[in-house]
Amino acid sequence: MTVRTPGPTPARAPARAPRRTLRRPSWLPVDGYVLALLGTVALAALLPASGTAADVTEGASTGAVAFLFLLYGARLSTREALDGLRHWRLHLTVLGSTFLLFPLLGLAARGLVPTVLTPQLYSGFLFLCLVPSTIQSSIAFTSIARGNVPAAICAGSFSSLAGIVLTPLLAAGLLGGSTGGLSADGVLKIVFQLLVPFLAGQFLRRWVGGLLTRHRKVLGYVDRGSILLVVYTAFSQGMVAGVWHLVTPARLGLLLTVEAVLLAAMLALTWYGARRLGFDRADRIAIQFAGSKKSLAAGLPMASVLFGPQASLAVLPLMLFHQMQLMVCAVIAKRRARDEETPRERADLAAATAP
């Protein structure tokens, strides 16, 4: 019997040092979808669709907008919306912030033309003030801040539903010639591209609602891909028409400053105004996040219908505001989650609700 002597123990490979990865700060959420939008804008700047390609992309964009609003209608639960009416004061407050306070501040900014904002950028800035509130991010930030999440869900849904009618009407009345006015052709575009698909989605919900719920992730990619197509079409038209020579880096900086002031004003008005109206802390959190934000997903398709070839400049302020609101509201939501209601807030609430 032979005994095998163990050979030399193989040397172990030195432990690898942990790989360091660059991560963005948790308080600075750079939305990946915004990066995709910026990449689409760059593609349109380098390779704009023209001629036959422009006709094809415009037709595809029109179909994409109709399909988006079909999905919006099919996803909105009519029963949930009716149940949410019980908290009608909160919903009216959010709707007032979205479709009254925002437009009033937008009109007040008219005095900044042409020294701060060009007429074209002002039209986009005012359009930003007219679009409905967001749903997903309002719910997410309300949840992080420990607010009234069901109220945020209903408030965002009501705002999106009202925006299908109110945004085109407000844009036609306040923007005037920038959208071509509320002509018969404009009314037909709004009806057939926005309202009819939405109502069709509501009608089909009983049959396709379960399918949409099961494939929510896939349909999310369809949503975003459709909006990217709308953005590419709008910015291609802007490049071909030569509208981008009107925008300089200095003008963009001024636009960002004006939008920062707008966001700060709405965050303050919704928070302290809701306190004066007697809402508790959880409701005020929902009002602040639902009433101070604007929907990129709803605004981009609407702009393509309302502005036509001028849509590229019209959606630029909305794209910038969207990223700004995500960054600022993320910081506020985490702060709200750490803070407790102060004695002064409780006293103010008691005074506001006293008979």
Tell me the pLDDT tens digit for each residue of 57-84: 888 888 887 887 788 778 766 666 565 5
> Chain-centre distance of CA 305, in angstroms?
17
Within a domain: 276: yes
Within a domain: 283: yes
pLDDT confidence of residue 350: 53
- Can you give the CATH number for the domain in which 125 is found? 1.20.1530.20
How many CA atoms lie within 13 Å of 142's alpha carbon, on the beta-carbon side?
30
Within a domain: 273: yes
pLDDT confidence of residue 18: 47
Low-confidence ranges of the chain (pLDDT < 50): 1, 13, 15, 17-28, 181-182, 348-349, 352-355
Burial of residue 222 (CB within 10 Å: 0-12, 13-18, 19+) is middle
Within a domain: 18: no
Give the pTM: 0.72
pLDDT confidence of residue 352: 42
pLDDT confidence of residue 199: 82
Tell me the three state secondary structure of residue 131. Answer: coil
Within a domain: 110: yes
Tell me the three state secondary structure of residue 68. Answer: helix
Q: How far apart are CA 279 and CA 348, in angstroms?
A: 10
pLDDT confidence of residue 346: 55
pLDDT confidence of residue 104: 97
Within a domain: 26: no
pLDDT confidence of residue 354: 46
CB of 90 within 8 A of CB of 283?
A: yes
pLDDT confidence of residue 67: 84
Within a domain: 151: yes
pLDDT confidence of residue 183: 53
State the total domains in the chain.
1
* DSSP label of 10: P
pLDDT confidence of residue 126: 94
Query: The dihedral of CA 107, 111, 115, 116: what is its sign?
Result: negative
Which one, of 112, 131, 137, lies nearest residue 122 by Cα? 112
- The parent domain of residue 126 ranges over 52-336
CB of 73 within 8 A of CB of 197?
A: yes
Q: How far apart are CA 117 and CA 23, in angstroms?
A: 35
Q: How far is CA 10 from CA 7, 15, 29, 108, 221, in A?
A: 9, 15, 47, 77, 50
Within a domain: 99: yes
Per the listing, tokens 């008005």 go with 269
- The tens digit of pLDDT for each residue in 253-280 reads 999 999 999 999 999 999 999 999 999 9
